[in-house]
Amino acid sequence: DVKVTQSSRYLVKRTGEKVFLECVQDMDHENMFWYRQDPGLGLRLIYFSYDVKMKEKGDIPEGYSVSREKKERFSLILESASTNQTSMYLCASSTAGVQREQYFGPGTRLTVT
Amino acid sequence: EDQVTQSPEALRLQEGESSSLNCSYTVSGLRGLFWYRQDPGKGPEFLFTLYSAGEEKEKERLKATLTKKESFLHITAPKPEDSATYLCAVHYTGRRALTFGSGTRLQVQP
């Protein structure tokens, strides 16, 4: 079974803090993705990576950065957290070729106060 | 503009009452349409991929179909454990990632 794990299920941070969200997959997938999910807006792509050290901006990259130093790990960084970044963050992975299905982690519910 | 639209936003069924969820898309160059199920507080779980108009996939009480403009997720004789949010997503030419709809929240009452 594909397994995608995320470092925290719930996280509470203060405005201005630097926040790291970690994602690890165990299926040797080439592609990894970060989404945020908000009521009524669906899943919106923040960043994705198709190879180690490679990344591409998604639809809403502002305020975020990413790092992929190893194939199995993809990190999302909020350089200076703001209250409008309070959301559910979901990581996903897939084999090469975007038309392949994506497998999701359990999500991190981030609250910025 | 919306490229993937799901309807209805919410649906309440009685156990055994069959129905369909709709996912319409306005993208060109469709390369795949995906259905996911998401339980509260969890990540989406993959259900089906459809690649071309006329294709159908089935899994237990669920059947997904695809036309050139939309996809349906048919739920036959649903049970309370089918209650979840169902998401569809498309992959189309010119975009490397999936585009998701907002989902249909399904509640099946015993």
Question: Which 41-100 residues of chain B touch chain A by CB within 8 A?
Answer: 41-46, 49, 51, 87, 89, 91, 95-98, 100
> Which residues have a Cβ under 8 Å from the Cβ of A66 and sit 6 or more positions away?
A34, A46, A47, A49, A55, A74, A75, A76, A77
Q: Is the pLDDT of residue A101 over 60?
A: yes
Q: B108: part of which helix (H) or strand (E)?
A: strand B104-109
| From B51, B91, B103, residue closest to A98, measured CB to CB | B91
Nearest partner of A48 among A66, A25, A36, judged by Cα: A66
Long-range CB pairs of B63-66 (<8 Å, 24+ gap) are B64/B35, B66/B33
In chain B, residues with a C-beta closer than 8 Å to the C-beta of A23 are none
Q: Distance between CA atoms of A50 and A54, rounded to whole angstroms?
A: 6
For chain B, report the end-to-end CA distance as a whole number of angstroms.
38
pLDDT (tens digit per residue) in A64-92: 999 999 999 999 999 999 999 999 999 99
Nearest-neighbour CA in chain B from A59: distance (Å): 10
Residues of A engaging B, defined by a Cβ cutoff of 8 Å: 4, 33, 35, 40-45, 48, 50, 56, 58, 90, 92, 98-99, 101-107, 109
Q: Distance between CA atoms of B86 and B48, rounded to whole angstroms?
A: 11
In chain A, residues with a C-beta closer than 8 Å to the C-beta of B43 are 4, 90, 92, 104-107
Most B CBs within 10 A among A87, A88, A102, hence the mutation to make, goes to A102
pLDDT (tens digit per residue) in B1-54: 558 999 999 999 999 999 999 999 998 889 899 999 999 989 999 999 999 999
pLDDT (tens digit per residue) in A6-60: 999 999 999 999 999 999 999 999 999 999 999 888 899 999 999 998 999 999 9
Is the CB of B91 less than 8 angstroms away from the CB of A92? no
The answer to whether the bond into B80 is cis (omega within 30° of 0) is no
The CB density around residue B94, as the number of other CB atoms within 10 Å, is 8
Task: Identify whether the C-beta of residue B64 lies closer than 8 Å to the C-beta of residue B47.
Answer: yes
A73-78 β-sheet, strand order: A4-6, A19-25, A73-78, A64-70
